[in-house]
Structure 1
Amino acid sequence: MAAVIAVVLLLAVAAYACAGGTDYGAGFWDLTAGGTERGKRPRWLIDHAMAPVWEVNNVWLVFVLVIMWTGFPVLFQTVFSAMWLPLALAAVGLVLRGAGFALRKPVRRIAGRRLYGAVFALSSLLTPFFLGAAVGGIASGRA
């Protein structure tokens, strides 16, 4: 049974990683899109391309955590005890990313759009960094 759960966990991590490229890459392109006028079209394309996948990515992540927690509780405890800091910072980044992406569109003022756009873009760069730091710590045997 553990092998079946491990395969499901691996497939869920792969799905998150594949769809995350669209999700996190959009934050980088948003950051480099340019000013208000030059960046208008690229930002519209980012919103249009990312809208179908950005919620699903968080669902995959929650699914991975639940499968890991219920299927391998000792592994879950070990990983989260050893890698609590990068995982906590990644969680904060996920929340800020979602808030920045969701709130930048309905805001009318340019200053507000820039603020939420910057939050979205910067947390899109930092979140994968912290997730990678946690994976690196696990792969190096620190967890």
Structure 2
Amino acid sequence: MADLIAWVMVLAIAAYACAGGTDYGAGFWDLLAGGAERGKRPRWLIDHAMAPVWEVNNVWLIFILVIMWTGFPTMFQAVFSAMWLPLALAAVGLVLRGAGFALRKPTRRLSRQRIYGAAFAISSLLTPFFLGAVLGGIASGRVEVGTPASADAWANGTSVLVGLLAIAATAFLGAVFLCSDALRFGADDLVDHFRLRALIAFAAVVVLALIGLPVTHDDA
């Protein structure tokens, strides 16, 4: 039974990584879209593509937490005791991200649009980074029952690398999704725009993966 529950959780994590990762990636490209005029078209597509799904994606995260604390309560306690700070920062990012995305669209004043947009975009980097850092700490064996909360659990080389990989991977997923969405809605100018960014993000994933070989050597 434990193996079955673990596989269900793994599949849910994969679903959240793909669906939520696309969502975070869109926020990453929102941050790099440029000024009000140059970034108007990319941000229009990001709003259009993410509006129906950005909130639904987090249902996977809630499902993962429920499976984790009911199926593996000891592991849940160990992870959340040792990693409470990065997980809290990721949760703050989720809240700020949702608020920024929801409030930017109905706002008419440019100054407020920039504030809400910045909250949405910056949180789209911080949340996957901290979630990746937590994953890196767990994968490198730094979390056990009774492990006290410390920076070493999530601020080590492996955790930082996995956090950066999470940002790069979500940027890739977001760019691919937005490229497909632009093609579907006939925004031909944005197809090439996001295809180029998908290739750049993919290259970043490859580079970080290669860097990860020596970084994770001692934790393998």
Is the TM-score greater than 0.5?
A: yes
Aligned counterpart, 2:188: none
Letter in 2 for 1:76: F
Indicate the structure with greater helix content.
Answer: 1
Task: State the TM-score, normalized to the length of structure 2.
Answer: 0.63
Letter in 1 for 2:79: V
Aligned counterpart, 1:26: 26
Aligned counterpart, 1:83: 83
Q: CA deviation at 1:124?
A: 0.4
**How many residues are matched?**
143
- Which stretch of the first structure deviates more once superposed, 39-48 or 51-60? 51-60
Is contact 2:89–2:130 with CA below 8 Å preserved after alignment? yes
- Which stretch of the first structure deviates more once superposed, 52-61 or 113-122? 52-61
Partners in 2 of 1:138 and 1:52 — Cα distance?
A: 33
Partners in 2 of 1:21 and 1:91 — Cα distance?
A: 15
Q: Summarize deviations over 1:71-119 as a string: whole Å, max 9, x none.
A: 1100100111111111110000011111111111011100000000000
Partners in 2 of 1:79 and 1:56 — Cα distance?
A: 25
Letter in 2 for 1:18: C
Aligned counterpart, 2:95: 95
Q: CA deviation at 1:4?
A: 1.4
Which has the bigger relative contact order, CA under 8 A and spacing at least 6? Answer: 1
Q: CA deviation at 1:24?
A: 0.7
Q: CA deviation at 1:46?
A: 0.3
Q: CA deviation at 1:33?
A: 0.9
After TM superposition, where is structure 1 displaced by more than 6 Å over at least 4 residues in a row?
none
The secondary structure found in structure 1 opposite 2:142 is coil
Q: Summarize deviations over 1:47-90 as a string: whole Å, max 9, x none.
A: 11112321122110011000000011001001111111111100
Letter in 1 for 2:78: T
Identity of aligned residues (%): 83
Aligned counterpart, 1:120: 120
Letter in 2 for 1:32: L
Q: CA deviation at 1:21?
A: 2.4
Partners in 1 of 2:95 and 2:74 — Cα distance?
A: 27
Question: For structure 1, which runs of at least 5 residues remain unmatched after alignment?
Answer: none
**Structure 1 segment 42-121 matched on structure 2, within 5 A:** 42-121=42-121
Structure number, greater radius of gyration = 2
Is contact 2:20–2:58 with CA below 8 Å preserved after alignment? no
Question: For structure 2, which runs of at least 5 residues remain unmatched after alignment?
Answer: 144-220
